[in-house]
């Protein structure tokens, strides 16, 4: 089964080099996450390696075990609207893009991986023409019904050429937390070149590799995220297709991300100094040194050991729960070897009533389950929301309950 659903790359997806080196061995995890609706239990429990590799030529950090994208994205459940604060972030991105690019009513804005159309809605409300692209047919139909025309398809050169012929070339192309999920980057970059107007810009946000490594963001490494981008490989990759990165902004979303701004080579905007500054910082920090990667792996191992000790102590007093069932949270169950150490899961907006994988099949309760089941310890896998989770459950803490927050380092709240 896995052989039909997973293929293994032997070359870098950014530059094509065969010089890719295993740097961080990680636990094997299920090939589908709680974000994906699959009926076959055999698929839901199929695992594949999550080991990370470093391209010794361009510097891209990547997974080489690639899950069939149709399996994941045709059956996607996640909607942008459920993520706390993301709509506000997208509103700010819209304002920044309009100001920076001088967009006007009637300008064409295209987004691939547009999901429920939340971001494009801000541009539509400013009088611009918008076009979404997303392979999840149900989500694409919902967005279209809400006034955001959305093609249920994958973006690449074929579709870009078709859209350029029917709509004209785009003044702005967007993709947010999408590029890291795509294996055939060459096809996407050719598509951007074909669809982008001569004076237009392509902006994409993605997790920033330097933040992932500096802050031990192990929860962003899973089979949907097959690349972890930094500035050096992105600049080199787009240059091969006549495109240039004219800016790279570090932003705080998802624990540390980066927003790339790209135009045709010799486009109307000068290249910002921070593009070169970030490339120098990446090299000076050691991001392209395998030893730096091994230290990241050692920190993950240390967190795992500390969590196991806390759980063993808590089990003498009662059950142990984990808070959060997102794809990143599910990945942490495996990376911290928690499969046989949890009794149930908690989530404020659960997709499913149970979360399962190799070695576990756990019921999922809403936040109020804290008081019905009275766990001795709750491990907050959704650690970015730890402050609000703890604030919502002061009664649990006041009654002697304990929270363990695993990242970026283990801390206990009691």
Task: Label residues 312-333 b or e (16+ Cβ within 10 Å = b).
Answer: eebeeeeebbbbbbbbbbbbbb
Cα 81 from Cα 142, distance rounded (Å): 13
Q: In this structure, is residue 137 part of a structural domain?
A: yes
- Co-location of 93 and 200 in the same domain: yes
Question: For the whole model, what pTM was predicted?
Answer: 0.91
- Co-location of 135 and 164 in the same domain: yes
Q: What are phi and psi of 296, to 5 degrees?
A: -60, -45
- Tell me the pLDDT of the chain (414 aa) as tens digits: 455 889 999 999 999 999 999 999 999 888 877 667 776 767 767 889 999 999 999 999 999 999 988 887 877 776 666 666 788 999 999 999 999 999 999 999 999 999 999 999 999 999 999 999 999 999 999 999 999 999 999 999 999 999 999 999 999 999 999 999 999 999 999 999 999 999 999 999 999 999 999 999 999 999 999 999 999 999 999 999 999 999 999 999 988 999 999 999 999 999 999 999 999 999 999 999 999 999 999 999 999 999 999 999 999 999 999 999 888 898 899 999 999 999 999 998 766 788 877 788 899 998 888 999 999 999 999 999 999 999 999 999 999 999 999 999 999 999
Q: In this structure, is residue 306 part of a structural domain?
A: no
Q: In this structure, is residue 157 part of a structural domain?
A: yes
Number of domains in the chain: 3
Q: In this structure, is residue 74 part of a structural domain?
A: no
Q: In this structure, is residue 142 part of a structural domain?
A: yes
- Co-location of 240 and 213 in the same domain: yes
Q: What is the CATH number of the domain that holds 144?
A: 3.40.50.150
Q: In this structure, is residue 208 part of a structural domain?
A: yes
Task: Label residues 72-85 b or e (16+ Cβ within 10 Å = b).
Answer: bbbbbebbbeebee
- Co-location of 24 and 125 in the same domain: no
Cα 325 from Cα 385, distance rounded (Å): 13
As beta bridge partners, residue 344 has: 321
Decide: 232 and 59 in contact? Cβ < 8 Å.
Answer: yes
* Whole-number Cα distances in Å, 207 to 10, 126, 229: 23, 28, 7
- Co-location of 169 and 249 in the same domain: yes
Q: Which residue, among 100, 140, 135, has the nearest Cα to 120 in the 3D structure?
A: 140
Structure token pair of residue 346: 């908690």
- Co-location of 373 and 409 in the same domain: yes
Q: In this structure, is residue 189 part of a structural domain?
A: yes
- Co-location of 147 and 264 in the same domain: yes
Q: What is the CATH number of the domain that holds 335?
A: 3.40.50.720
Q: Among 255, 288, 321, give the residue marking a domain's end.
A: 288
**Sign of the four-CA dihedral 87, 91, 94, 100:** negative
Q: In this structure, is residue 299 part of a structural domain?
A: no
Please list, in sequence order, all residues whose beta carbon lies within 8 angstroms of the beta carbon of residue 390, skipping any fewer than 6 positions away.
380, 397, 403, 413
Task: Label residues 180-202 b or e (16+ Cβ within 10 Å = b).
Answer: bbbbebbbbbbbbbbbbbeebbb
- Co-location of 376 and 249 in the same domain: no
- Tell me the residue range of the domain where 102 lies: 80-288
Q: Which residue, among 15, 64, 85, has the nearest Cα to 385 in the 3D structure?
A: 85
As beta bridge partners, residue 61 has: 54, 228
- Co-location of 214 and 88 in the same domain: yes
- Co-location of 208 and 350 in the same domain: no
- Co-location of 180 and 209 in the same domain: yes
Decide: 29 and 321 in contact? Cβ < 8 Å.
Answer: no
Per-residue pLDDT at 368: 84
Per-residue pLDDT at 1: 41
Per-residue pLDDT at 39: 65
Decide: 179 and 185 in contact? Cβ < 8 Å.
Answer: yes
- Co-location of 100 and 22 in the same domain: no
């Amino acid at each position: 089964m896995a052989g039909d659903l997973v293929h293994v790359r032997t070359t870098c997806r950014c530059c094509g080099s065969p010089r890719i080196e295993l740097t961080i061995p990680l636990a094997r995890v299920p090939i589908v996450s709680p974000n994906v609706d699959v009926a076959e239990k055999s698929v839901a429990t199929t695992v594949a390696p999550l080991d990370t590799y470093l391209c010794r030529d361009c510097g891209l950090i990547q997974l080489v075990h690639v899950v069939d994208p149709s399996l994941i994205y045709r059956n996607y459940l996640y909607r942008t609207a459920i993520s706390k604060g993301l709509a506000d972030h997208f509103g700010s991105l819209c304002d920044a893009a309009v100001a920076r690019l001088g967009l006007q009513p009637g300008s064409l804005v295209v987004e691939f991986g547009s999901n429920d159309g939340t971001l494009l809605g801000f541009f539509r409300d400013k009088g611009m023409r918008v076009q979404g692209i997303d392979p999840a047919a149900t989500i694409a139909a919902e967005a279209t019904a809400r006034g955001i025309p959305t093609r249920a398809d994958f973006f690449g050169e074929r579709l870009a050429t078709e859209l350029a012929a029917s709509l004209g070339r785009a003044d702005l192309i967007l993709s947010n937390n999408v590029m890291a999920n795509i294996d055939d980057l060459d096809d996407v970059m050719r598509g951007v070149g074909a669809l982008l107007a001569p004076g237009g810009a392509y902006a994409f946000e993605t997790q920033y590799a330097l933040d992932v490594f500096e802050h031990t963001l192990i929860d962003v490494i899973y089979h949907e995220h097959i690349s972890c981008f930094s500035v050096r490989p992105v600049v080199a990759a787009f240059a091969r297709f006549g495109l240039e990165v004219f800016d790279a902004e570090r932003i705080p979303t998802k624990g540390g991300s980066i927003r790339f701004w790209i135009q045709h080579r010799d486009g109307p905007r000068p290249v910002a100094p921070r593009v070169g500054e970030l490339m120098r910082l990446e090299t000076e920090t050691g991001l392209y040194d395998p030893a730096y990667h091994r230290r990241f792996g050692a920190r993950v191992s240390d967190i795992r050991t500390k969590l196991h000790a806390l759980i063993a102590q808590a089990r003498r007093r009662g059950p142990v729960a984990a808070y959060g069932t997102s794809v990143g949270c599910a990945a942490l169950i495996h990376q911290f070897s928690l499969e046989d150490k949890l009794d149930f899961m908690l989530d404020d907006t659960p997709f499913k009533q149970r979360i399962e994988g190799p070695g576990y099949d756990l019921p999922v309760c809403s936040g109020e389950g804290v008081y019905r089941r009275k766990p001795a310890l709750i491990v907050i896998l959704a650690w970015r929301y730890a402050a609000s989770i703890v604030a919502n459950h002061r009664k649990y803490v006041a009654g002697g309950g304990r929270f363990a927050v695993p990242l970026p380092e283990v801390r206990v709240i009691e």
